[in-house]
């Protein structure tokens, strides 16, 4: 079995002889026959030689469970333990975006081995590898052949329908909405309702349902504040995209069954066994204003500003117009942004707009506001490009 004499030395001493094999490798393990000869004859003996080394790498690694935040893998023990018992396994993971292997954990010597790799970021791709360990050190790693996407076998629900305000008072609203068209493959467990005031950009969770019934009551609102509401569906995979928000809602007492068109003169008739009496009265049902009268005229356009003019609403809702709110739409972003407001007592309302970005295309809209809420907006018929006229 010894093919390279240069790795062997034989040293003779007075009472013994020492045979040394240098640079021994694992494959040098086996049975060796030693023959001794002198003038009196020959004798021989067989010796079992075990060369200790690190183990060979494990075999047959497989991902048996994949979720958004963990991956469970199994493997079999190495074909060669290196001449000493396997003491455990080292598991490492690599996020393909970073390209760096980092420790995921260690486990005992049981075979087949298994380990749950945790701390993953959903929707990222990972590789996983395992190394066997004995007292001589760690084996070469066995790596999963293909990257694994950290993803549940089911998805988040679709977005719910736009909520409808079915009842309200000066401190709360009751909402109802349509369930998502898809539950993502797992049952919807509950919904959350988010709220923001009209001028805020931040949404805040204000209510959570106990089950998958698509309705909720939101308490803790402030009277005379204007709010919007939206809903998210939840299942085991997580939360959906938010629904389309409600229209602006003024938090106030509700006067049931009365509409703005019910405004007018009424005769009240009282009758009993002694006779009858009547009295006339004038009833005004308050409501939001009608939208400002158009057209919404845009003039004096420059690269940074313009001038807007419009007419008062035909109906102030029975309550004086407090102000007009003006917004701009950058057609590139598709988002409406508030640019200012003016008092509502002007007979011929107009506003100078500034802060436009040169060369960008804009639309504008104006909303009338009274104590009952906001009107529907008046929108420019055509867009304008912010540039100088020369």
**239: in domain:** yes
Whole domain around residue 322: which residue ranges? Answer: 292-386
120 & 183 share domain: no
pLDDT, one tens digit per residue, over 273-297 is: 998 998 988 888 888 999 999 999 9
**Residue that is last in its domain, among 150, 176, 202:** 150
Give the confidence band of 2 by pLDDT, cuts at 50, 70, 90.
very low
Residues 311 and 362 in one domain: yes
pLDDT for res 258? 72
| Residue 318 and residue 380 in one domain | yes
The mean per-residue pLDDT over the stretch 171-180 comes to 96
Assess whether 306 and 379 both reside in one domain. yes
- Give the pLDDT mean for 363-372: 94
184 and 121 within one domain: no
CATH of the domain at 175: 2.60.40.10
283 lies in some domain: no
Q: How many domains does the chain have?
A: 4
pLDDT tens-digit readout, 94-143: 999 999 999 999 999 999 999 999 999 999 999 999 999 999 999 999 99
Q: Report pLDDT digits (tens) over 298-311.
A: 999 999 999 999 99
Residue 299 within a domain: yes
Residues 143, 198: one domain? no
Q: Is residue 2 part of a domain?
A: no
Range in 36-40, 218-222, 246-250 with the lowest mean pLDDT = 36-40
**pLDDT greater at residue 50 or residue 329:** 329
Specify the pLDDT at position 5. Answer: 53
- Phi (first) and psi of residue 262, to 5 degrees: -80, -5
If asked whether residues 322 and 374 sit together in one domain, one would say yes
Among 30-44, 134-148, 221-235, name the one with the lowest average pLDDT.
Answer: 30-44
pLDDT at position 70 is 96
Of the pLDDT bands very low, low, confident and very high (cuts 50, 70, 90), residue 6 is: low
Residue 274 lies in a domain: no
Among the ranges given (18-22, 104-108, 173-177, 222-226), the one the predictor scored with the smallest mean pLDDT: 18-22
């Amino acid at each position: 079995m010894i093919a390279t004499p240069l790795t062997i030395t034989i040293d003779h001493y007075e009472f013994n002889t020492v045979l040394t094999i240098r640079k021994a490798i694992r494959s040098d393990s086996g049975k060796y026959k030693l023959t001794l000869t002198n003038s009196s004859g020959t004798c021989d003996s067989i010796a079992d030689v075990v060369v200790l080394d690190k183990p060979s790498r494990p075999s047959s690694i497989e991902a048996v469970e994949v979720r958004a935040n963990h991956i469970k893998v199994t493997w079999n023990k190495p074909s060669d333990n290196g001449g000493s018992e396997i003491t455990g396994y080292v598991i490492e993971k690599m996020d393909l975006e970073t390209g760096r292997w980092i420790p995921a954990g260690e486990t005992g010597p049981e075979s087949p081995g298994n380990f749950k790799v945790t701390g993953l970021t959903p929707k990222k791709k990972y590789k996983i590898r395992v190394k066997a360990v004995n007292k001589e050190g760690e084996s070469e790693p066995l790596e999963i052949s293909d990257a694994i996407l950290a993803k549940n076998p089911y998805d988040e629900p679709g977005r719910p329908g736009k909520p409808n305000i079915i009842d309200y008072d000066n401190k709360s609203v009751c909402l109802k909405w349509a369930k998502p068209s898809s539950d993502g493959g797992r049952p919807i467990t509950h919904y959350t309702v988010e709220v923001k005031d009209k001028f805020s950009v931040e949404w805040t969770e204000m209510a959570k349902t106990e089950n998958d019934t698509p309705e909720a009551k939101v308490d803790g609102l402030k009277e005379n504040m204007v709010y919007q509401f939206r809903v998210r569906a939840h299942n085991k995979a997580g939360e959906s995209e938010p629904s389309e928000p409600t229209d602006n809602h003024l938090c106030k007492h509700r006067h049931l069954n009365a509409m703005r068109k019910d405004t007018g003169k009424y005769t009240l008739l009282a009758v009993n066994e002694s006779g009858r009496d009547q009295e006339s009265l004038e009833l005004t049902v308050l409501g939001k204003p009608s939208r400002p009268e158009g057209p919404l005229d845009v003039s004096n356009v420059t690269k940074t500003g313009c001038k807007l003019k419009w007419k008062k609403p035909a109906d102030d809702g029975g309550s004086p117009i407090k102000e007009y709110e003006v917004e701009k739409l950058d057609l590139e972003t598709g988002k409406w942004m508030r640019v200012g407001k003016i008092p509502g007592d002007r007979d011929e309302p107009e506003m100078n707009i500034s802060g436009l970005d040169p060369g960008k295309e804009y639309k504008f809209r104006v909303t009338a506001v009274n104590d009952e809420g906001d009107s529907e907006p008046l929108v420019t018929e055509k867009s304008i490009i912010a540039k100088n006229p020369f």
